[in-house]
Amino acid sequence: MKPKTMKESQVTMVELVLPNDTNILNNLLGGRLMHWMDIAAAMAASRHSHTVAVTAEVDDLSFHEPIRLGNIVSLKASVNRAFNTSMEVGIKVEVEDFRTGEKKHSNSAYFTFVSIDSVTGKKMPVAPVIPETDEEKKWFEDALVRRTQRLKKKHGIFQH
């Protein structure tokens, strides 16, 4: 399998917060944002693997800034690292006030996706990721640390 750069599978998805997306305070519903994040991450994972990619886990979903009715939401997804059949996808969410042009980092998360053969339903191997920039190399290394923590937690040996 030919290794791929992070740029080859990156996705930017843009949404406009409409009334149906908000709570009674006119803020974006957290569940709606998680839905959008899952879609962006799935597209990046499928681009990388050229297979169906299914969500296996979500780590460190953080809400930093409220997202309001009428804001423009940009979701940037990147496959940080590929393992055997799984991939870690990092998501960064920026919110823009179209009136002022001000942009803020509002949310982040790490999703784990598994590559699945759509005919057999079996897990499929994925190509390795090649980080190119210093920032990408940090994401790549940090993904291994997070995976180790996830596996320890899964096997009941997680330490706080």
CATH superfamily of 4-154: Hotdog Thioesterase (3.10.129.10)
Q: How confident is the model at residue 157 (pLDDT cuts 50, 70, 90)?
A: low
Alpha carbons within 13 angstroms on the beta-carbon side of residue 138 total 3
- List the alpha helices (DSSP H) in 4-160: 30-49, 134-154
How does pLDDT run across 44-68, given as a tens digit for each residue? Answer: 999 999 999 999 999 878 788 889 9
- Mean pLDDT of all residues in the chain? 94
What are the boundaries of each domain within the chain?
4-154
Identify which has the larger pLDDT, 97 or 1.
97
The 8-class DSSP code of residue 83 comes to -
